[in-house]
Amino acid sequence: MCRAAKAPEYGEKEAPRKSEKTEKTLFRLAIVFGMCYTDIEARRVRTDAREPNTYNGRANPMVKAIVGANWGDEGKGKITDVLAAESDVVVRFQGGSNAGHTIINEYGKTALHQLPSGVFYPHIKNIIGNGVALDIDKFLKEVESVREKGANPDIMVSDRVQIVMPYHILFDVAEEERLKGAAFGSTKSGIAPFYSDKYSKIGFELCELFDEDYAYKKLVRVLEVKNLILENLYHRDPLDADALFADLLKKRDAISPYVGDSFAYLRDALKAGKNVLLEGQLGSLKDPDHGIYPMVTSSSTLAGFGAVGAGIPPYLIRDVICVTKAYSSAVGAGAFVSEILDPDAAQEMRIRGGDAGEFGATTGRPRRMGWFDCVATRYGVEIQGATEVVLTVVDALGYLDEIPVCVGYETPDGRVLRDFPTTPTLEKCKPVLKTLPGWKRDVRGITKYADLPKECRDYVEFIEAEIGVPITMVSNGPRRDELICRR
């Protein structure tokens, strides 16, 4: 805290005052040296991102976060599946069953919606963190599905996670129907109503169901309001508290073997020097604070939220791996500047993209297709604090003679933006495209970066220069082993 200067006593000489010019000079020097020190520290932190760290004076834990740079569907599931091999714990830290991570490995093809993408490794503890919207029915079905494939996952569900209630899904469906043409394009998984209740403090933590008297009384109170809305706004039948509570207890009993104190487990794992991988859902542009609001999801998609949604110290997240496609795709409504408006060209890319075409892993809806967007992706990796980037689905572009890339946004008044604007401006922008030569060949099966066609390497390096973060891996196929490490 600053202290007020002491006035000189009577007869005491006042200390000579620095001239205004001297004070300004010192102030400028302080700023310069402060900035230099800050820049050096920032560079040191980024350079040391993979260096050993200590936690409470113990061992050397490494916490990495895998997040999306764009609208989601970037291929995070595959990258989590690959990097999980060198991890001890994988934590899903936000989101719900409204999006899926598709994995292709020796167990076949699996779309995971609730489970972390480390469930196919026997050595990994897979944790559903407190930041997740847990649909118990879908969780149990996924566990059964994974086990039927021959895997035996070790899973812990945080006792602090909140659960998706049946009325959340009911409200989600009813609201989309009410909005009609102005709907948000929800997956109708109950996510928005769930997070609305969570932050209105009327959600249900999983641990609450183990105190039956407390949980039942709370449910009765909540349904008083929910039923009023159901009957009078959506014209639906009211919900019966007894029937709903009986169903909740069945779900509680079914999931109880998985429930644990994930905070304590992670605390002890970090003290023991375990490596932890944080898995995010969707991408930067779907974040409710920094994305294309209001066409966003209802939980933070940023790596910074990983500390909250998992319950670990934020300073332990040392490596943020941001995943982006070699082109753009998006599900649902919202601004999409680089979108391919020619339906035939969009469909051609759609059927070649992803692991079996660009269709939503949850809904099966065809994704909107676009050229790689340097403006959106640069913003996406910056807001995530990315230390490295993975470029996926490069193999899908091998059919093109030329590949347009969006390098700027043109506003109605003729300005060209390189910084990602807010939604009202974004919706009025047109893409500024730069055309790069295609490589006209199939690059699947190539294992070394130097063996990629020169035009493909030029494309990767052009994107790397535009986004300002090293591209350390290039994915040239959907399988676990179709991944080229650059450094």
Lowest mean pLDDT among 50-59, 123-132, 170-179, 292-301: 50-59
What residues does 433 pair with on adjacent strands?
406
- Mean pLDDT for 440-462 is 97
For the segment 389-402, the average pLDDT, to the nearest whole number, is: 97
Domains of the chain: 62-159+261-485 (3.90.170.10), 162-258 (1.10.300.10)
Sign of dihedral through CA atoms 387, 79, 188, 306? Answer: negative
Mean of pLDDT values over 321-333: 92
Q: What is the pLDDT of residue 46?
A: 44
Average pLDDT, the chain: 87
Strand ranges (DSSP E) for 175-330? 259-260, 275-283, 317-325, 328-330
Nearest Cα to Cα of residue 392 among 335, 354, 364: 354
Catalytic-role residue among 73, 88, 172, 319: 73
Burial bucket for residue 203 (CB in 10 Å: 0-12, 13-18, 19+): buried
Q: Does residue 114 register a pLDDT over 60? A: yes
Long-range contacts of 13-16 (CB under 8 A, 24+ apart): none
To the query of whether residue 168 is one of the catalytic residues in this protein, the response is no
| pLDDT confidence of residue 34 | 42
pLDDT digits (tens, 9 = 90+) for 8-23: 333 344 444 444 444 4
Could you say which of 81, 88, 101, 197 is catalytic?
101
